[in-house]
Amino acid sequence: MKLSFRLLNGQEKEYQKFLFYKYFFNNEKPCILTEGPTDIIYLKSALKNLYTDYPNLIKKVNDDFIFKISFLKRGEDSKASKAQKKIKGKKTSKLQYFFGLEKDGADTMKQIYNFYVSNKEKKDCPNYSEIFKKMNVNSKNPCIFILDNELNNKEKPLKTLTNYMSLKEGKIEELCDKNYLKITSNLYIVTNPLVNELKECEIEDLFELDILKTELNGKTFERCEKKYNPSENYGKRAFSKYVWKNYEDINFENFRPLLDNINQIVTNYND
């Protein structure tokens, strides 16, 4: 059962409301929600490499980097209380228990979106952003969904998410043109640019080819799970660790348009 929040009692619903306020609506820093955990590592590595160009997103103090944006980790260490039920017999994080967020995957972005809109078919998902605004509470920072640029593929996360949101054709065109779009309230979608004449572009495509061809312990990088062979390949997790360790020596120029759009939203945000 993924949508465990549908079983919440009155007290739990109030706590859910508080969590939405804390993590998404009135977050202390701009909140970034990615498709998977390795995307976070890529973006942080790129910002560390290019930190002098993005003072509104990151700063360096002595030898330490301080991020001015927060990256939501859906598998937060903090667990749901013992009084709360386990999902499929497993312990859950607060965000998983109260919002149905899995540790990775883009589909659960729909869960957060549900709390930004009024939908008679989803009575258990109140429009919290509207509720807070009626209380004269304005959000301080944006909440940004970041997805791979696969808008032309109906089976990929960005397309399924925009279909789920029922975005009008004009909004789709705006997203294609700018690679970012305000959805409602403080909620935005950002996608990476298309590079190397690709019609679809995953965030890994922003790396130069020689980095993607890096061999680790005699193995080559394979991002596709269906093609992955553990005796010959290493996956995204190992690749992201390599990127993090070697961020100073990697060319992140293709990440600039993506970072520019995040910076544009953060810098000019005004609810």
Mean pLDDT across the chain? 88
User: Is the residue at 236 inside a domain?
Assistant: no
User: Is the residue at 225 inside a domain?
Assistant: no
**Could you give the 3-state DSSP secondary structure of residue 183?**
strand
User: Residue 135: which domain range?
Assistant: 4-208+251-266
For 70, which DSSP code?
E
- Close Cβ partners of 147 (under 8 Å, ≥ 6 residues apart): 34, 35, 106, 109, 157, 158, 161, 189, 190, 191
User: Is the residue at 231 inside a domain?
Assistant: no
Is 169 buried (19+), middle (13-18) or exposed (0-12) by CB count in 10 A?
exposed
Phi, psi of 149 (to 5 degrees): -80, 85
User: Is the residue at 139 inside a domain?
Assistant: yes
- Pairwise CA distance, residues 5 & 23, whole Å: 16
User: Is the residue at 228 inside a domain?
Assistant: no
187-191/180-184 β-pairing: antiparallel
Percentage of the chain lying above the pLDDT 90 cut = 71
Phi, psi of 62 (to 5 degrees): 60, -115
Per-residue pLDDT for 83 more than 50?
no
Is 26 buried (19+), middle (13-18) or exposed (0-12) by CB count in 10 A?
middle
Q: How many domains does the chain have?
A: 1
User: Is the residue at 157 inside a domain?
Assistant: yes
The 10s digit of each residue's pLDDT in 116-167 is: 998 767 777 899 999 999 999 989 999 999 999 998 888 899 999 999 999 9
* Mean pLDDT for the stretch of residues 241-245: 98
